[in-house]
Amino acid sequence: MPEISVKNETLNCILDRYKRDRGQLISILQDIQAEYNYLPREAVKFVSSELGIPLSQVYSVATFFKAFSLQPRGRHTIHVCMGTACHVRGAAQILQQMENETKTCCGETTKDGKFTLESVNCVGACALGPVVVVDGEYAGQMTVNKVKPLLEKYD
Amino acid sequence: MITLKIDGREINAEPGKTVLEAARENNIYIPTLCVNEAVAAYGACRLCMVEVTRGNRKRLVASCLYEVAEGLVVETRTERVVNIRRLVMELLLARCPNSSEVIEMARSMGIDSSRFQSEEDDNSCVLCALCTRVCREVVGKSAISLVGRGTNRKVALPFCEDTDACIACGSCVYVCPTGAIKMEDNGDVRRITWPSSTHEFKMKKCASCGSYFAPEKQISFMIQKTGLEAEKFDLCMNCRP
């Protein structure tokens, strides 16, 4: 997937929202992530020079938190729960089926930029297990057969 | 002055000093890997753990960060301290099975092998962050940092390739306690190898003898820092009047 072109006005708008306060670096990065669905390299460099924080420090923060991604991500994020309760009810097969249907490996983004497939260790909805969360929407009692219809709902 | 006890000895120390500093001033040995007087204490290697008693409470603390206090009782060689140090050393040994510095330090503590499974790759970085701290606090460039987290944590340039901020001074190489960063000068090229990537930098030629004596970017940085004319930096150490 090609990198998205970054608009300086958008970034300036986000920076102004936090009064260009260095202490708000994480909030700023979160807003950029929300805007582009990932942290484009240009944006990370722009934030570094505008806030006067060395690029290495911004990069350090951006790689530390799992909420940030430095790779372009799909329009929809699929989280397959691999927690204990989901695991014993066949989460592994659900994930396998997800990988087959999206033709991508866990942790990666589909070629058409539609989905990013990830596993998580518990989403706290064990009673619904096995659970799959797409863009924050929970799909409980998943089965291998329900995978395809679920994915077809998104475009 | 503050009075405290280390290993049963009454010791006077200035307020604000750390337990490690007070111990070293009095020739009491505490092992460390991540301490260097050029930079602020950081508490990364955990080898300097000691047991402190205040009132009825005993606890393990990193002596490089723990400040002296009136009436503090410090033990540097109790069974608990020796055990925890051993554990830390064995973890370091498992992480860096091929680093001669780590092996030697382990030997000096009577440790030949680790109870933990050794890492397979040829890693010798203990993540003490001395390199990144020197780059930030002493050089003032902050060209490298610790990136990632957990088992993926490593010393790296931004995006593992952005050398814009690096002046190739080699401070990170000199300060590394385990030789995890390598540097090699070969003609007009200086090659620095960090645990994540290798990069080459152009060297400056001496205007008189023609030898390559320092990285071009380091010279530019020095010109900018000192405000002197560029010609002052044309000659190598040997050719200077």
The β-bridge relationship of strands B9-13 and B2-6 is antiparallel
The β-bridge relationship of strands B198-205 and B212-215 is antiparallel
Q: Are B126 and B45 in contact (CB under 8 A)?
A: yes
Residue A3 in this model has a pLDDT that exceeds 80 = no
Q: Does B136 touch chain A (CB under 8 A)?
A: yes
| Cα–Cα distances in angstroms (integers) from residue A144 to residues A98, A101, A151, A152, B159, in the given order | 8, 10, 12, 14, 38
Instruction: Give B67's DSSP letter.
Output: B
What domains can be seen in chain B, in order of their start residue?
A: 2-77 (3.10.20.740), 130-239 (no CATH)
Give the contacts of A93 (CB within 8 A, at least 6 positions apart).
A144
Q: Tell me the pTM.
A: 0.85
B143: its two tokens = 């060209």
pLDDT tens digits, one per residue of B122-174: 789 999 999 999 999 999 999 999 999 988 899 999 999 999 999 999 999 99
For chain A, the average pLDDT equals 91
Q: Does B123 touch chain A (CB under 8 A)?
A: no
Quick one: pLDDT at residue A113? 87
Contact assignment for B147 to A55 by CB distance below 8 Å: no
The β-bridge relationship of strands B182-186 and B57-62 is unpaired
Quick one: pLDDT at residue A155? 82
Quick one: pLDDT at residue B59? 94
Residue range B12-30: mean pLDDT, rounded: 95
Q: How far apart are CA B160 and CA B214, in angstroms?
A: 24
Residue A30 in this model has a pLDDT that exceeds 60 = yes
Chains A, B: CB contacts under 8 A, how many? 38
| Partner residue facing A56 (CB), from B144, B148, B149 | B144
Quick one: pLDDT at residue B55? 80
Contact assignment for B145 to A64 by CB distance below 8 Å: no
Quick one: pLDDT at residue B121? 76
ipTM of this complex prediction, to 2 decimal places? 0.87
Residue from B132, B142, B157, B172 to probe the interface with A (highest A Cβ count within 10 Å): B142
| Partner residue facing B165 (CB), from A41, A55, A70 | A55
Contacts of B164 in chain A (CB under 8 A): 55
Contacts of A60 in chain B (CB under 8 A): 145-147
Contact assignment for A60 to B157 by CB distance below 8 Å: no
- E-state strands within chain B: 2-6, 9-13, 49-54, 57-62, 73-75, 145-147, 154-156, 182-186, 189-193, 198-205, 212-215
A69: its two tokens = 């991604």
Tell me the percentage of chain A whose pLDDT exceeds 70: 97
What domains can be seen in chain A, in order of their start residue?
A: 8-64 (no CATH), 76-152 (3.40.30.10)
Residue from A41, A51, A60, A61 to probe the interface with B (highest B Cβ count within 10 Å): A60
- Identify the sign of the CA torsion B136, B139, B141, B147: negative
Contacts of B145 in chain A (CB under 8 A): 54, 56-57, 59-60
Contacts with A, B 151-210, CB within 8 Å: 156-159, 162, 164-165
- Please give the full DSSP string across A92-124, using - where no structure is assigned: HHHHHHHHHHHTS-TT-B-TTS-EEEEEES--S
pLDDT tens digits, one per residue of A41-89: 999 999 999 999 999 999 999 999 988 999 888 889 999 999 999 999 9
Quick one: pLDDT at residue A2? 55
Q: How many CB atoms lie within 10 A of CB B78?
A: 14
Residue A1 in this model has a pLDDT that exceeds 60 = no
At B52, which amino acid appears?
V
Q: How far apart are CA B58 and CA B79, in angstroms?
A: 13
Residue B212 in this model has a pLDDT that exceeds 90 = yes
Residue A4 in this model has a pLDDT that exceeds 80 = no
Q: φ and ψ at B203, to 5 degrees?
A: -100, 155
Q: How many CB atoms lie within 10 A of CB B37?
A: 7
Chain A interface, Cβ < 8 Å to B: 41, 44, 54-60, 63-64, 70
